[in-house]
């Protein structure tokens, strides 16, 4: 039997990959079981392409990130050893176990959010950093996603990502020889007949089937070059579709993107300089201007050439304009080091100039900006010269490190690492956040630091590492969520429909409810739940056969009961009720067969359902039930992991507070006791 592990930010992403594999293989025999309270396994027997398959897929939710030590070892360490130098890491990883060693074979990212503006390149650092290691990397985009009016939940006009973003993946694969790609999958709201902006979208661009085949063949050790070529062609087709939605006067056209793709000797920077069709312009709102930033914008407007798009936050100073640029920069910053000005001026290479704020008013990272320079590097290469102009507020301690120990600053801060690792020069013209605010004007030559990072081992064979235990070092909210998910979505699936599973870092993009023969789905859920005066649940479970009407369990999960917010039980119910006041975003036939998604066309009556709020948390960190009931939840799930030689699973004490919740408790116990499963002790 071959053993694979699927590591993910949470159980939702782990299982999404597992379902892709199962859908591709169509196995006749599947067995699901817990290998630890935190990890469940899926055992598969089938044949595929002449290969007999006996696989065990182990799903491990949660990573060792930041200061959080969840597992004995960090699965990302082997990526770092092979050249990954950013903190941004894949959402999910597939690895293979062999002789007690674990080898990473694929990194993946899922995006169920709107891809537009600077959000489109927020994750570019992950692709860039993972791609350096030689590990295949796929960024899966659910297309399309609508932005909704926060009051009416009416769809706004679609906004698309700049085509330079998906093209950067194609170019990165082409220039490095490492497979890195974006792949579009069809979302619930995709309907060419309802939205003229996607009427000409070729649905062959969608890659659900190709994705599954690629993963399975990779796991089998088969040649995946054909699937890689297909995926990159789909990626390129998406670029050309997107190009048609941008102003041709200030963006590459579909035909120009094809020309860039076909280049043999020049790169996209040479191509843009040769074409010289439009300039680069950075718009800065008046209140954000600082120091000489307005003069910098004017200077760049005079000298620059747009790189793929006038609207991206970076452009090109052609080699023959570098001296003029450097001299004018010196006039604006006369205290700058003359040697750095001369180095900036005297080069026969084109120069990319990136202009961005970088930091928020309190000095913390503007997260999308972490991906900006990786995007530029993927779009061009790491060999091109880059000057970064930063005008956002800088924390005084970071400025001191930037002046005296920039490598130390890079190791401490993800955005500064991106800036220092991928810039040859840095111009800082920014307010300094200190007890008494002051301004800083600096010009740095960071080329040696860039050389240090980009020279880190690249394309080294990813090392296998010793397998670590599937039992975490510490149990937390992730594990509470996995226990609930496994019990209701697997063991009790005959009686339960999982409408939402939203663990930390999970899929908050939508929830579903079965009403009669249809699944109704509300998408683009508000992140700020205060808008509807409710609390977005971590789980929504629809249970049939208890009452005359289906029951909705709206569950909030925590590691500690003390972390449950005030009146959370009321808010869990209110959230669902308020959203059900609106027409669902999408619906499909659910019985007797699964149909195609269409846009929702009528409200679902909230009164067709019973609804009960639940608080779930670890017994180890539990207050008295009377104290927790003050938060107005109707049922408590008090959970404790079981790790014994004879039993692996969960102890769950269900504590009701009403007559109907007592009926729910007994129903769950009865159905579980008749399920044949032995991983839970429920009382």
What's the average model confidence in pLDDT over 663-667? 99
pLDDT in the model for residue 313: 96
Does the pLDDT of residue 530 top 70, yes or no? no
Does position 159 have pLDDT exceeding 70, yes or no?
A: yes
Summarised one tens digit per residue, pLDDT across range 499-519 is 999 988 766 679 999 999 999
pTM higher than the cut 0.75: yes
Distance, in Å, from the CA atom of 437 to the CA atom of 399, rounded to the nearest integer, reads: 13
- Given a cut of 70, whether residue 537 has pLDDT beyond it is yes
List, for residues 416-466, the tens digit of each pLDDT value: 999 999 999 999 999 999 999 899 999 999 999 999 999 876 555 678 899
pLDDT reported for residue 583: 97
Residue 507: the pLDDT is 61
Contact in structure between 379 and 167 (CB atoms under 8 Å): yes
Residue 438 burial by Cβ neighbours in a 10 Å radius (0-12, 13-18, 19+):
exposed
Residue 395 has a pLDDT of 96
Quick one: pLDDT at residue 67? Answer: 73
Amino acid 475: pLDDT: 95
Summarize the confidence of residues 619-644 as an average pLDDT.
97
| pLDDT of 344 over the 60 cut | yes
C-alpha–C-alpha distance, residues 561 and 320, integer Å: 65
Q: What is the pLDDT of the chain when averaged over all its residues?
A: 94
pLDDT of residue 65: 79
The per-residue pLDDT for 382 is: 79
Beta-ladder partners of 31:
43
> What is the pLDDT, as a whole number, of residue 362?
86
Interval 273-293 mean pLDDT: 92
Please write the tens of the pLDDT for every residue from 174-209: 999 999 999 999 999 999 999 999 999 999 999 999
Per DSSP, the residues of 22-54 read HHHH--SEEEEEEEETTEEEEEEEEEETTEEEE
- 111 strand-pairing partners: 141
Question: What are the E-state strand segments in 423-527?
Answer: 425-433, 438-445, 465-466, 496-501, 510-515, 518-523
Question: Is residue 481's pLDDT more than 80?
Answer: yes
Q: Which two tokens stand for residue 598?
A: 């269409």
CB 544 within 8 A of CB 495: yes
CA distance 658 to 495: 22
pLDDT score at 113: 76
Share of the chain above pLDDT 70, in %: 98
In this predicted structure, the answer to whether residue 353 has a pLDDT above a threshold of 80 is yes
Measured torsion, CA atoms of residues 255, 257, 258, 264, in degrees rounded to the nearest 10: 130
User: Closest Cα partner for 25 from 49, 3, 42?
Assistant: 49
pLDDT surpasses 90 at 150 = no
Annotate 399-426 with b (16+ C-beta within 10 A) or e (fewer).
bebbeeebeebbeebbbbbbbbbbbbbb
CB 225 within 8 A of CB 233: no
Please report the pLDDT score of residue 119 as a whole number: 82
Element (H, E) at 363: none
Mean predicted confidence (pLDDT) in 166-177: 96
DSSP assigned state of 207: -
Query: Cα–Cα distance between 566 and 630 in angstroms, integer?
Result: 8
* 648 within 8 A of 472, measured Cβ to Cβ: no
pLDDT at 527 over 70: no
The answer to whether 388 touches 329, Cβ cutoff 8 Å, is no
pLDDT at 112: 82
SS3 assignment, position 127: helix
């Amino acid at each position: 039997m071959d053993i694979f592990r699927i590591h993910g930010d949470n159980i939702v992403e782990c299982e999404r990959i597992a379902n892709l594999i199962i859908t591709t293989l169509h196995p006749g025999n599947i067995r699901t079981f817990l290998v630890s309270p935190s990890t469940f396994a899926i055992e598969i027997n089938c044949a595929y392409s002449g290969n007999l398959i006996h696989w065990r897929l182990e799903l491990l939710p949660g990573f060792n990130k930041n200061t959080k030590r969840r597992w004995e070892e960090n699965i990302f360490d082997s990526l770092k050893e092979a050249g990954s130098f950013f903190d941004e890491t894949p959402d999910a990883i597939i690895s293979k176990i062999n002789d007690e060693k674990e080898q990473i074979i694929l990194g993946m990212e899922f995006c169920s959010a709107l891809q537009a503006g600077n959000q489109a390149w927020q994750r570019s650092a992950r692709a860039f950093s993972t791609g350096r290691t030689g590990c295949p990397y796929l960024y899966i985009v659910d297309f399309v996603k609508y932005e909704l009016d926060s009051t009416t939940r009416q769809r706004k006009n679609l906004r698309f990502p700049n085509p330079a973003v998906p093209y950067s993946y194609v170019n990165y694969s082409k220039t490095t020889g490492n497979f890195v790609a974006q792949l579009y999958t069809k979302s619930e709201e995709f309907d060419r007949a309802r939205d003229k902006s996607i009427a000409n979208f070729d649905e062959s661009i969608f890659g659900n089937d190709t994705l599954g085949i690629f993963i399975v063949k990779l796991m089998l050790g088969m040649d995946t070059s054909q699937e890689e070529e297909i995926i990159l062609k789909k990626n390129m087709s998406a670029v050309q579709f997107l190009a048609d939605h941008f102003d041709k006067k200030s963006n590459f056209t579909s035909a120009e993107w094809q020309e860039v793709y076909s280049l043999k000797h020049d790169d996209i920077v040479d191509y843009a300089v040769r074409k010289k069709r439009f300039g680069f312009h950075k718009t800065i709102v008046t209140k954000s201007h600082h120091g000489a930033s307005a003069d910098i914008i004017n200077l760049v407007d005079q000298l620059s050439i747009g790189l793929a798009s006038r609207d991206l936050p970076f452009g090109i100073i052609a080699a023959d304009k570098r001296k003029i640029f450097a001299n004018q920069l010196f006039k604006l910053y006369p205290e700058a080091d003359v040697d750095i000005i001369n180095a900036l001026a005297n080069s026969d290479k084109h120069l990319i100039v990136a202009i961005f704020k970088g930091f928020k008013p309190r000095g913390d990272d503007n997260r999308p900006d972490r991906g900006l320079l990786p995007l530029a590097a993927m779009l061009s290469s790491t060999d091109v010269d880059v000057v970064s102009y930063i005008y956002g507020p800088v924390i005084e301690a970071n400025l001191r490190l930037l002046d005296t120990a920039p490598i130390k600053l890079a190791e401490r801060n993800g955005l500064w690492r991106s800036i220092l690792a991928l810039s040859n020069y840095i111009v800082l013209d920014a307010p300094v956040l200190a007890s008494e605010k002051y301004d800083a004007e600096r010009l740095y030559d960071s080329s040696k630091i860039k050389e240090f990072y980009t020279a880190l081992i690249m394309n080294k064979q990813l090392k296998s590492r010793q397998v670590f235990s599937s039992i975490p070092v510490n149990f937390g909210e992730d594990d509470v969520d996995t226990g609930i998910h496994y019990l209701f979505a697997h063991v009790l699936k005959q009686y339960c429909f999982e409408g939402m599973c939203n663990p930390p870092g999970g899929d908050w993009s939508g929830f579903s409810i079965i009403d009669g023969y249809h699944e109704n789905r509300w998408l683009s859920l508000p992140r700020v739940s205060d808008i509807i005066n409710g609390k977005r649940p971590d789980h929504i479970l629809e249970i049939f056969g208890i009452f005359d009407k289906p029951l909705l369990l709206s569950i909030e999960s925590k590691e500690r009961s003390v972390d449950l917010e005030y009146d959370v039980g009321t808010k869990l119910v209110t959230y669902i009720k308020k959203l059900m006041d609106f027409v669902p975003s999408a619906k499909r036939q659910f019985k007797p067969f699964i149909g195609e998604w269409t846009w929702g066309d009528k409200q679902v009556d909230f009164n067709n359902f019973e609804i009960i709020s639940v608080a779930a948390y670890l017994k180890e960190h539990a207050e008295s039930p009377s104290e927790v009931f003050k938060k107005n939840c109707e049922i408590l799930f008090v959970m404790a992991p079981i790790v014994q030689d004879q039993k692996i699973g969960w102890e769950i004490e269900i504590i009701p507070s009403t007559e109907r919740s007592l009926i729910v408790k007994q129903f769950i116990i009865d159905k579980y006791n008749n399920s044949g499963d032995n991983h839970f002790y429920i009382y």
